[in-house]
Structure 1
């Protein structure tokens, strides 16, 4: 399937890579199908809508930047996403990109949780007060590159 992206690319994707968000994303409840596109040679990806070309979010694996980041996934969410094993889970957080790049922020309060085996996904809003919608990437160093 050919997908036209927000960044004026036409790329071929495998329909088996399409993620299903049953309730969409907060603020985009009608957007139910996305694909996660890794950005070459970076720790970032793009969460691109399948149906709306201009709707895409930059994301990253939060554990690469925030080594103490952790949260408990409610059993109802685990059931909803049909999660059977922790190894089936991929976590991404949505980024707001700024110049310079280290002033960009990550939304640690609402991670995107993906069951990679079932291609089911949900943005989960955490009630943990440690996490905000804007954590600067400069607040931490890329794990493995600490000085």
Structure 2
């Protein structure tokens, strides 16, 4: 299947790789189908979550454990049920990255991970009530360098 995107031009996608977000992503509830475009540079941890429904929409994503190796969350039971998750090995997590003009101000949303049941191809952005994490966790700055 061919997909026209503003970021990648026309790309060929494997329909078997399409993820369904039954509820969409907050702010984009009408867009339900996405694919993950892996970075061709295997050493670069940033990838893209490209909307299949809207070629102009792509989120930069990253595995949250790359940024915070001790990232430890509990996925709510309601999300486990909606995503038909039966085994932990079927779960893949990503976090959405915000890329501002000044690259050193780049942040990642650790409060709202993208939870994917890779077996069922179902996904959801889960909003955690875990106060240890924020929606704007700096990737390149330490707390000391921000003056906190």
TM-score (structure 1 length as normaliser): 0.90
Unaligned runs of 5+ in 2: 143-148
Shift in Å at residue 103 of structure 1? 2.5
Shift in Å at residue 123 of structure 1? 0.2
Unaligned runs of 5+ in 1: 141-147
Do the aligned partners of 1:112 and 1:122 also contact (CA within 8 Å) in 2? yes
Tell me, yes or no, if structure 1 residue 128 matches structure 2 residue 135.
Answer: no
1:9-43 Cα deviation digits (max 9, x unpaired): 21111101000000100011101001111111111
For residues 4-23 of structure 1, the aligned pairs below 5 Å read 4-23=4-23
Residue matched to 1:90: 92
Cα distance in 2, alignment partners of residues 22 and 121 from structure 1: 7
The CA RMSD over aligned residues, in Å, is 1.3
Residue matched to 1:46: 48
